[in-house]
Structure formats: C-alpha cells, structure tokens
C-alpha cells in the first residue's frame, strides 16, 4: 500500500537511552515498521520524532517496538531530567564513599594489611553491582535483543574485572582488580552526572520560554481568571509592570512594552490604541485595556516554543555520519578488546596484563562523545537564538548557512517600517507649520486614501471640515473654519512659491511623496511622506557584508524610491518594480550563477522566494505564510537579527565540527594506546568521561553569543532619502 500524501508526525519521549548507539537502535526499529517514512531519535533530548502513515501503522506499534527493544515511553509531564540527576547523585555518593577506601588500601602500601584484598572485594561488590546496576541492566536488555550499546562495554569491563578478582582471591593469585572496577564505575558515573547537568542546562531555552508566560489575566470587570480561560475577543486589563497574558490589540490606554524576552530587542516599544501586543511581554508605566486576538497554542510565545522544540529535536546532516559510526562502534570495540586479549596472550605476556589491556579497550571505546557532539550544540545554539528573537528551524538550517554568499532583502516591512509617515512639514514664509498640518489633516480625515491616514496620524489637533470633495488624480478639497483648503498635487495650485517647489523636487528625487497644502488659492506648505527606513537597517547591511555576504534589495516599489532606500542603507544592487514571481525568478537566477542564496522577507508576496531560496529568513512581524515557508524566523523587525541568525548558525556549526573532531580524535587515538597497554582501565574511564563532558561544555559556550544588536541611542527613524528631517 502506498504512503499517504501527507504523513503525520508524532513525538515520543523515551526513557532508558544511555548513548548514541541506543538512539540508533531505536531509530532502526521504528524505521523498519511498515508505514514509517522517517524516524529521528535524538539521544540528547531523549525523544523520537516519527513521520508515518496512520493507515499503515499506529502509535501502539511504536510503543510496542520501543518497549520490545528494552526502552520505555516516558511520561511527558514528568521532569525526567531532574529525576535522572537525583538518581545519579544518590548512586554517585554511595560509589564515592565506598571507592575511596578501596583505592586507599589497594594503592597506598602504608595502609595495607593482611587480608585487605577481602575488604576491597566486600566494598567493591555493591559498587559494581548496585551502583553500576543501570549499566548491567541496559547491557542485558540489549544483548537479549541481539545488539550492543555503550553500557555493554562498561558492564563487560567492570564485570570482568570484578569476576577476575574474585577468582584470583579464591585462587590465592597475587593481583586483584577490585579498585579498577570500582574506580571505573565511579568515574563513568561522575561523567554521566556532569553530562546530565550540562544537558539540562543546554535545554534551558524551552524551560525559560515556558516560564515567561503569565498565569492569570485580569478581565475588564476586574475579575482575575486563569490565562487558559481567555478566549479570542475577551478584554483584559494590564496594569503597570504586569505581563501581557496573551496576544492582543490595545483598545484603550497608552504605555511602553518591554518585549526583549520575546524579540531580543533591548528598547521598550511605545503602544497605543490599535497597536498589537504580544503575550509574556511586560507593560511599562501606563495601563492598557487589551482585546485578545490569539490564545493558547496560537500565541506567538507558544509558536516560538514549538519551533524551538522542533529545532532541538532535529538532526543535522553532519550528525548522520556520527550516528552511523556509533551504531557499529560498540561491536567493533568488542572485537578489538578480544583481539587485544588474544594478542597479548599469544605474545607470551602475563594473563593479568593482557586482561588489563582488554578492559582498557572496552572502557575507552565508549562512543558517548560522538552521540552528544551534534545534538547538544543544536540545543544550545537554537536555545540561544530563541533568547535573541531568532528561531532556527533545525539542524539542516545550520548547515545551509555555511555556504550562503548572497542575501536578497525585501524592502517594504523589512528594510523599511512598512507604513507611510509624514517625515517633514515645510511651511511658506510667515506660515505656522502646525496650521499647515492641522488643516491638511482635518480635510484628509474624511478621505480613505493611504496617504490621508499618514497625514491624520501626524496631526495632534483636528478641526471639523465641511464640504469635502475628492479630486481624482489631484487630491482633496474641504472647508476648515473659513478657509477653502486644498491638499494634493502641486497642479492644484496656479502658483507655488519657489522655496516650496524646491522641497517638492527634492522629495521626488529622493523617492518620497510630496503633498502640497494651501488655502484661499495659495500654496502654504509641503508635507513630505515616506515609508521610513528602520534605524538599524544600515547597520544590518554593514554586518551582513562583514560576514562576507553580497546584498541585493528587491522590491515591487518604483525604481526611484527603491534606489533612495538602497542609498540610505548602503545597498548598491537594487531591483525594483518586481512581482512575486519575479522575486522567485531572481532567486533562481542567482542560484543558476552558482550563488547560495538567503532570502529575507515578511509578506505573502515573498513566500515563493522564501521557499525557493537555499535559506529562507522571515521577519516575524510579517505574515504567517512567510514564517511557515522560511527556515529562519526573526521575531522582531530588526534586520540586524538576520546577521545575528547567520552568525549564530555558523558559530553553532563550527562548534559541532569541533565536537565531532574531538570525539573522533579521542577514540582514534585512545583505543590503540589502550590496546598496547599505555592506558590502564582507570585512566581510560576518566578519559572517556572527560570526553563527554568536554563536548557538552564546548557546546555550552554558545550561550555567550551576543550578536550585533545593542540598545539604540535615539528613538528617531530614518526617512527614505539622503538626509533626515523632522516634523
């Protein structure tokens, strides 16, 4: 039966995995089921993500397969990480207390006494068989299913050392290895404890995001209710200093909102009636009445958590090699250990020394570091990205950034604010600029033109206008007080003063819109309207170039305006008056030239190009369609976050490669040393634990990534054009 066109995806939390070999074995088991398209098992996150056809396979089959392999489905509400740490801590404490005297009486001659071997054996037995029982349990389950894991090596190594020592004790042989077995268990347990702590820290992103959410909301009538009870359309109050419970629209009040925990933006944003606010952001000094627009799993915070969680569960292509190596590493190590034992005995070496070398090979060969190299870096990198307002959708995205050499940037809503604003008011001689703006806004208040909206928004006072008349292609007319006011093109006026004509010409040359205002037949002033360039766009372009990237500005706007914007932000290559299909075609053209292209956009018209690009980057202030088709999402509108995203992705990939190099180099170098007797089992156990801790700790360095964004020193925005003017 063929696979369904759109397979379902489910996530399964798994208990009992101890190494990458466990993950590989579960992955093979799930993939082998009919109807399973793909199964990605992540050792670091202890989860399996399975794509399947529900007509061919059920969730019960997944559970049965996992349990049949010796593992279990975890309770999703159970904090397994905390429980694992507590269990490890208890066993480690017992192991240390018993192992210290064993080592002391075994290795310090002054502390020796007659029959010390029997005391060492008595103390070592609970260490090997109770403290180390999880190793033996997992190894036994694996062998019962015809496979091996890291725990197989540990179990066989420590069990063999203990058994040899017991035989030697009763056979009255001089040398015993009780201290070796106890120290190996202790060191490996210590390494796992450090590893578990580090893994838990690497997963703090999701927990910190979840902790941001408000628990209750205060309704408009003053009643306090759980956030889960809020529905779309309900109104709630947000007092100064409180968290906004869910996404909504301000219907009353004005304030500033600190959204840094969501967007990574350090500067609070002013909000008023009609503005959108995001759940979990913190209200400033004003009181707000907000109408809920998104609740539950539809809020921006919930979406970010979901995207981060999916990213942390993903597998980077570079990890697949490590997974394949880990799957065959344990059987290979067992074969090398047997060969080492045989070679030493055939070479005429003492059996005890041959045994010691074989145990060292078993212990040193554990591929823990290989299994942790990639997933821990992805967890920390994507988590740090979330803290900066950058959502990286998976390991594949990290590798896609490595070869990106060209960034295509949409103009409207990405480089610019995406809304028209009055950027300057220039009156004629002897005219009050506020009167010019007030009379123009009073008439335009009766118009539905987009430019009218910008003019009205800029005015602080309005007077009632009468006799409104729309003049198609020219402007509008109305009476304000006793003045007959005209607002529109300069052709509305028989005569325009030279100083105002100069302002009009300058504005048009800069790609901005000039609106002439006058009354009683005389032009009295000029309003210049433009889509403001974001104040950080020029800095963002500079940062992208600093990363070795070429930048192209792509827009459906006219050529003159596009060139003006490019001049402001420092982009020389500008393509204007392009349709959505043209944007897609331009990305294809660049790819055909050998470029690896990243596309940055925010609108529905950008979606085809975002999907086509090697790396799609959506500005989170844009549409859901753009976000869904992208690989990276910038929660804020700050273009510098694009540079943050690319730099962080590259840094994460570099850490992954460093981790894999260390893991491969460690095993490649250490196994021959152990086989030739250079490393004894205790040193091997310490080195194995250190390698895992090193890999995880190296990944945690990504938490210190800061990015390019810093608090801005001014709240002003840049208008489209070469200079700045203020109303």
Instruction: Provide the pLDDT for residue 718.
Output: 41
CB atoms within 10 A of CB 189: 27
Q: What is the pLDDT of residues 38-84, one digit of tens each?
A: 887 877 667 788 888 888 888 888 888 888 887 888 776 556 667 77
Distance CA 290, CA 68 (A): 52
Answer for the pair 708, 540: CB distance below 8 angstroms, yes or no: yes
- Listed as own residue / partner, the contacts of 481-485 with beta carbons closer than 8 Å and 24 or more positions apart are 483/439, 483/519, 483/520, 484/519, 484/520, 484/521, 485/439, 485/440, 485/442, 485/443, 485/517, 485/518, 485/519
Three-state DSSP string of 450-485:
HHHHHHHHHCCCCCCEEEEEEECCCEEEEEECCEEE
Put residue 719 in one of left, alpha, beta given phi > 0 → left and psi -120 to 50 → alpha.
beta
Distance CA 169, CA 649 (A): 57
Higher pLDDT, 189 or 233: 233
Residues 567-584, mean pLDDT to the nearest whole number: 82
Q: Pairing mode, if any, of strands 288-294 and 235-238?
A: antiparallel
Higher pLDDT, 203 or 234: 234
Residues 8-30, mean pLDDT to the nearest whole number: 79
Put residue 473 in one of left, alpha, beta given phi > 0 → left and psi -120 to 50 → alpha.
left
Tell me the CA end-to-end span of the chain in Å, nearest whole number: 69
Q: What is the pLDDT of residues 623-679, one digit of tens each?
A: 454 455 567 778 777 888 888 888 888 888 888 888 888 877 777 788 888 888 887
Q: What is the DSSP letter of 243?
A: B
Extract the tokens encoding 33: 């089921």
Q: Residues, the chain, total?
A: 727
Higher pLDDT, 210 or 612: 612
Higher pLDDT, 273 or 609: 273
Annotated active-site residue in 410, 557, 606, 644: 410
Distance CA 423, CA 723 (A): 11
Q: Which segment of 350-359, 432-441, 482-491 scores lowest on mean pLDDT? A: 350-359
Give the pLDDT band of residue 129 (cuts 50, 70, 90): very high
Give the pLDDT band of residue 723 (cuts 50, 70, 90): very low
Which residues share a beta bridge with 480? 465, 483
Q: Which segment of 200-214, 238-252, 688-702 scores lowest on mean pLDDT? A: 200-214
Q: Pairing mode, if any, of strands 406-410 and 255-258?
A: unpaired
How far out from the chain centre does Cα 440 lie? Answer: 47
- Residue 683 pLDDT > 80, yes or no? no
Distance CA 389, CA 260 (A): 8
- Residue 289 pLDDT > 80, yes or no? yes
The full DSSP string for 153-204 is HHHHHHHHHHHHHHHHHHTT-S---HHHHHHHHHHHHHHHHHHHHHHHHHTH
Distance CA 26, CA 50 (A): 11
584 is annotated as an active-site residue:
no
Higher pLDDT, 365 or 312: 365
Instruction: Provide the pLDDT for residue 367.
Output: 60
Q: Which segment of 282-291, 385-394, 601-610, 637-646 scores lowest on mean pLDDT? A: 601-610
CB atoms within 10 A of CB 123: 19
Instruction: Provide the pLDDT for residue 413.
Output: 74
- Residue 397 pLDDT > 70, yes or no? yes
Give the pLDDT band of residue 715 (cuts 50, 70, 90): very low
Of 289, 301, 81, nearest in space to 204 by CA: 81
Higher pLDDT, 3 or 609: 609
Instruction: Provide the pLDDT for residue 634.
Output: 80
The full DSSP string for 62-97 is HHHHHHHTT-EEPPTTS-HHHHHHHHHHHHHHHHHH
Residue with tokens 């007077």: 463
Distance CA 36, CA 57 (A): 7
- Residue 212 pLDDT > 60, yes or no? yes
Distance CA 508, CA 500 (A): 12
- Residues above pLDDT 70, as percent of the chain: 81
Distance CA 531, CA 592 (A): 33
The CA distances from residue 56 to 37, 53, 496, in Å, are 11, 6, 77
Which residues share a beta bridge with 475? 471, 488
Instruction: Provide the pLDDT for residue 260.
Output: 63
Give the pLDDT band of residue 135 (cuts 50, 70, 90): confident
Answer for the pair 671, 654: CB distance below 8 angstroms, yes or no: no
Answer for the pair 529, 516: CB distance below 8 angstroms, yes or no: no
Higher pLDDT, 415 or 683: 415
Q: Could you tell me which residues come within 8 angstroms of residue 628 by beta carbon, excluding any fewer than 6 positions away?
A: none
Distance CA 444, CA 477 (A): 9
Q: In what order do the strands lie in the sheet with 282-283?
A: 269-271, 255-258, 282-283
- Residue 314 pLDDT > 70, yes or no? no
What is the crossing angle of helices 450-458 and 433-444, to 10°?
Answer: 140
Q: Which segment of 12-26, 416-430, 444-458 scores lowest on mean pLDDT? A: 12-26
Instruction: Provide the pLDDT for residue 436.
Output: 92
Of 60, 10, 627, 81, nearest in space to 310 by CA: 10
How far out from the chain centre does Cα 586 lie? Answer: 28
The CA distances from residue 332 to 23, 336, 361, 370, 452, in Å, are 18, 6, 11, 15, 75
Distance CA 196, CA 190 (A): 10
Distance CA 401, CA 646 (A): 6
Distance CA 670, CA 481 (A): 91
Answer for the pair 392, 645: CB distance below 8 angstroms, yes or no: yes
Extract the tokens encoding 479: 């009476």
- Residue 412 pLDDT > 80, yes or no? no
- Residue 591 pLDDT > 80, yes or no? yes
Of 164, 190, 151, 139, nearest in space to 356 by CA: 164
Residues 98-121, mean pLDDT to the nearest whole number: 85
- Residue 716 pLDDT > 60, yes or no? no
Tell me the residue ranges of DSSP E strands in 121-267.
Answer: 216-219, 224-226, 235-238, 247-253, 255-258
Distance CA 695, CA 301 (A): 30
Instruction: Provide the pLDDT for residue 621.
Output: 53
Higher pLDDT, 402 or 95: 95
Residues 340-357, mean pLDDT to the nearest whole number: 86
Distance CA 656, CA 299 (A): 32
- Residue 357 pLDDT > 80, yes or no? yes
Higher pLDDT, 146 or 540: 540
Give the pLDDT band of residue 24 (cuts 50, 70, 90): confident
Answer for the pair 30, 62: CB distance below 8 angstroms, yes or no: yes
Give the pLDDT band of residue 717 (cuts 50, 70, 90): very low
Give the pLDDT band of residue 713 (cuts 50, 70, 90): very low
Distance CA 534, CA 518 (A): 31
- Residue 444 pLDDT > 80, yes or no? yes
The CA distances from residue 151 to 158, 611, 663, in Å, are 10, 44, 18
Residues 259-271, mean pLDDT to the nearest whole number: 63
Which residues share a beta bridge with 553? 409, 574
Instruction: Provide the pLDDT for residue 126.
Output: 95
Higher pLDDT, 329 or 444: 444
Distance CA 422, CA 460 (A): 13
- Residues above pLDDT 90, as percent of the chain: 11
Residues 573-577, mean pLDDT to the nearest whole number: 84
- Listed as own residue / partner, the contacts of 81-85 with beta carbons closer than 8 Å and 24 or more positions apart are 81/196, 81/199, 81/200, 81/203, 82/200, 84/196, 85/193, 85/196, 85/197, 85/200
Question: The whole model's pTM is what?
Answer: 0.61
Mean pLDDT (the chain, rounded): 79
- Residue 616 pLDDT > 70, yes or no? yes
Instruction: Provide the pLDDT for residue 720.
Output: 45
Answer for the pair 182, 130: CB distance below 8 angstroms, yes or no: no
Give the pLDDT band of residue 526 (cuts 50, 70, 90): very high
Give the pLDDT band of residue 617 (cuts 50, 70, 90): confident
Give the pLDDT band of residue 343 (cuts 50, 70, 90): very high
Extract the tokens encoding 460: 């602080």
Instruction: Provide the pLDDT for residue 78.
Output: 56
């Amino acid at each position: 039966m063929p696979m369904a066109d759109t397979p379902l995806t489910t996530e399964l939390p798994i208990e009992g995995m101890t190494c990458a070999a466990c993950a590989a074995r579960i992955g093979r088991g799930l993939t082998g089921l009919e109807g399973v398209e793909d199964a990605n098992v992540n050792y670091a996150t202890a989860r399996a993500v399975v794509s399947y056809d529900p007509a061919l396979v059920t969730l019960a089959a997944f559970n049965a397969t996992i349990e049949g392999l010796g593992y279990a489905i975890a309770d999703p509400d159970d904090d397994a990480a905390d429980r694992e740490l507590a269990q490890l801590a208890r066993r480690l404490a017992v192991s240390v207390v018993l192992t210290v005297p064993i080592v002391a009486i075994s290795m310090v001659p002054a502390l020796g006494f007659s029959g010390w071997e029997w005391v060492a054996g008595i103390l070592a037995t609970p260490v090997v068989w109770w403290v180390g029982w999880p190793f033996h349990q997992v190894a036994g389950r694996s062998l019962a299913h015809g496979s091996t894991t890291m725990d197989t090596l540990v179990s066989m190594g420590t069990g063999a050392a203990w058994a040899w020592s017991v035989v030697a004790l009763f056979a009255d042989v001089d040398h015993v290895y009780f201290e070796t077995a106890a120290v190996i268990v202790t060191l490996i347990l210590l390494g796992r404890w450090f590893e578990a702590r580090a893994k838990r820290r690497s997963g703090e992103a999701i927990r910190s995001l979840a902790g941001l959410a408000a628990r209750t909301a205060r309704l408009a009538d003053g009643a306090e209710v759980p956030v889960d009870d809020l529905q779309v359309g309900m109104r709630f109050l947000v007092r100064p200093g409180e968290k906004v419970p869910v996404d909504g629209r301000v219907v009353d009040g004005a304030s500033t909102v600190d959204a840094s925990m969501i967007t990574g933006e350090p500067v609070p944003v002013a909000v008023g009636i009609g503005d959108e606010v995001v759940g979990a952001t913190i209200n400033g000094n004003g009181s707000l009445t907000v109408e809920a627009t998104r609740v539950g799993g539809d809020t921006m915070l919930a979406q970010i958590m979901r995207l981060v969680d999916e990213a942390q569960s993903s597998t980077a292509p570079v990890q697949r090699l490590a997974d394949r190596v880990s799957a065959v590493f344990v059987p290979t190590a067992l074969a090398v250990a047997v060969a080492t034992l045989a070679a030493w005995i055939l070479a005429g070496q003492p059996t005890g020394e041959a045994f010691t070398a074989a145990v060292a090979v078993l212990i040193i060969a554990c591929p823990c570091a290989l299994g942790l190299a990639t997933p821990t870096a992805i967890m920390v990198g994507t988590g740090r990205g979330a803290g900066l307002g950058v959502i990286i959708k998976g390991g594949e995205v990290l590798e896609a950034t490595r070869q990106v050499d060209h960034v295509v940037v949409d103009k409207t809503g990405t480089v610019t604010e995406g809304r028209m604003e009055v950027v300057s008011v220039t009156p004629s001689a002897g005219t009050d600029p506020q009167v010019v703006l007030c009379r123009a806004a009073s008439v335009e208040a009766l118009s539905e033109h987009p430019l009218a909206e910008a003019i009205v928004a800029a005015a602080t006072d309005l007077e009632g206008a009468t006799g409104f008349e729309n003049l198609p292609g020219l402007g509008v007319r109305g009476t304000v007080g006793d003045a007959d006011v005209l607002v529109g093109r300069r052709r509305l006026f028989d005569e325009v003063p030279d100083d105002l004509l100069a302002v009009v010409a300058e504005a048009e040359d800069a790609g901005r819109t000039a609106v002439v205002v006058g009354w009683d037949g005389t032009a009295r002033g000029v309003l210049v309207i433009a889509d403001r360039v974001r104040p950080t766009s020029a800095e963002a372009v500079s940062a992208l170039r600093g990363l070795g990237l070429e930048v192209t500005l792509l827009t459906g706007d006219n050529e003159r305006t596009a060139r003006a914007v490019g001049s402001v932000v420092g982009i020389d290559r500008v393509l204007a008056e392009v349709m959505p299909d043209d944007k897609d075609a331009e990305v294809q053209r660049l790819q055909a030239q050998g470029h690896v292209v990243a596309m940055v956009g925010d609108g529905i018209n950008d979606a085809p190009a975002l999907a086509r690009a090697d790396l799609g980057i959506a500005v989170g202030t844009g549409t859901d369609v753009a976000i869904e088709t992208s690989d990276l999402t910038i929660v804020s509108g700050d273009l510098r976050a694009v540079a943050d995203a690319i730099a962080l992705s590259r840094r994460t990939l570099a850490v992954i490669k460093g981790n894999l190099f260390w893991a491969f180099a460690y095993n490649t170098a250490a196994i021959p040393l152990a086989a030739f007797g250079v490393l004894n089992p205790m040193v091997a156990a310490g080195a194995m634990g250190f390698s895992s801790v090193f890999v995880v700790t190296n990944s945690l360095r990504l938490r210190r990534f800061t990015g390019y964004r810093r608090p801005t020193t001014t709240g002003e925005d840049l208008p489209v054009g070469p200079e700045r003017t203020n109303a």
